[in-house]
Amino acid sequence: MYKYTYYNSTQGCDETFEVCKDDGTHIASIHFWEQRAEAEANAKLVVDALNAYRPRKTKKKLSDYEKAITKAQAVLKANLRKPMPKGTPYKE
């Protein structure tokens, strides 16, 4: 998975913060003249958001309780799909 980052750069006479993947793929440019702190805060916000939603590498292991609940839900769902046998009285 990629890790996103940013760095300071220039485009002509504009200064920018470039947001990119760790392999160098360009994602966005945030241009600024005098508001460097605000532009850097915006770049950091974008990078933090991109990095926050990366898929996790490991799957979470279910606890015994979660496994039991999942199994019970599957059994209940399977039983709800089965038709009632003929002659079965309806009970409330």
- Residues whose CB is less than 8 angstroms from the CB of residue 16 and which lie 6 or more positions away in sequence, other chains included: 8, 9, 10, 29, 30, 31, 32, 39
Stated pTM of the model: 0.55
- The residues spanned by each domain of the chain are 4-52
How far, in Å, CA of 11 to CA of 8, rounded?
A: 10
Q: How confident is the model at residue 81 (pLDDT cuts 50, 70, 90)?
A: low
Give the model confidence (pLDDT) of 14-68 as tens digits: 899 999 998 889 999 999 988 999 999 999 999 999 888 766 666 667 788 777 7
